[in-house]
Structure 1
Amino acid sequence: MIHDYEQKLLQLIDDNIDSATDDELFAGGYLRGHISLAVADCEQQGVTDIAEMQLKVKQSLLDAKSELSPFDYSLVCQMWQKISL
């Protein structure tokens, strides 16, 4: 189930590539890594709950906040909110 959700999220990112701005392309690429890491962590821990996977992505983004400028962090968080609904 989490794997299917991951594929859905990645497809949503990919579907916007043709019309995405440079900022959206950056945010999507950055998010892809955090989504995949969260899914791998869930699989390793035997977690099957999508809500828990979403929390792992949010925590991963929070943990990496210092890697990004405030503007870039905002872009990534906005995209996560948009696709994770």
Structure 2
Amino acid sequence: MNNTISTLVELYEFLDSLFDQDCDADTLFASGYLRGFISLVASEFGDENMKITTDFIEAISQGVSKAKSELSPQDSVIVNNFWLQLQHKFTA
């Protein structure tokens, strides 16, 4: 798979591909948790073929930050770190 992600479809494909790889439970947890935020924000921004924009990324970041209290401190760090790593793959 390409190392960069520029569309929502590519992002979903990347997240789905993690389940086929030998990923640890923390990575799978974080990717599944983030997918919910991504889907929610995507419904406000466009369709699955939309380009990933800085506004889209910022909206997800805000959602993750606001939902921090839903998670244990450890899980919050896991999700936040995964989100930060994932952002490095975006071409926005």
Match of 1:73 in 2: 76
Q: Which has the higher helix share?
A: 1
Q: TM-score scaled to structure 1, two decimals?
A: 0.80
Match of 1:27 in 2: 30
The CA distance in 1 between the partners of 2:76 and 2:35, in whole Å, is 14
Note the residue ranges of structure 2 that are not aligned, 5 or more in a row.
1-5
Match of 1:5 in 2: 7
Q: How big is the shift at 1:84? A: 2.0
CA pair 49-30 structure 1, distance change in 2 beyond 3 A: closer
The CA distance in 2 between the partners of 1:78 and 1:6, in whole Å, is 20
Q: 4+ residue stretches of structure 1 with deviation over 6 A? A: none
Counterpart of 1:84, as a letter, is Q
Q: TM-score scaled to structure 2, two decimals?
A: 0.75
Counterpart of 1:12, as a letter, is F
Counterpart of 2:84, as a letter, is Q
Note the residue ranges of structure 1 that are not aligned, 5 or more in a row.
none
Percent identity among equivalent residues?
A: 32
CA pair 49-25 structure 1, distance change in 2 beyond 3 A: closer
Q: How big is the shift at 1:32? A: 0.4
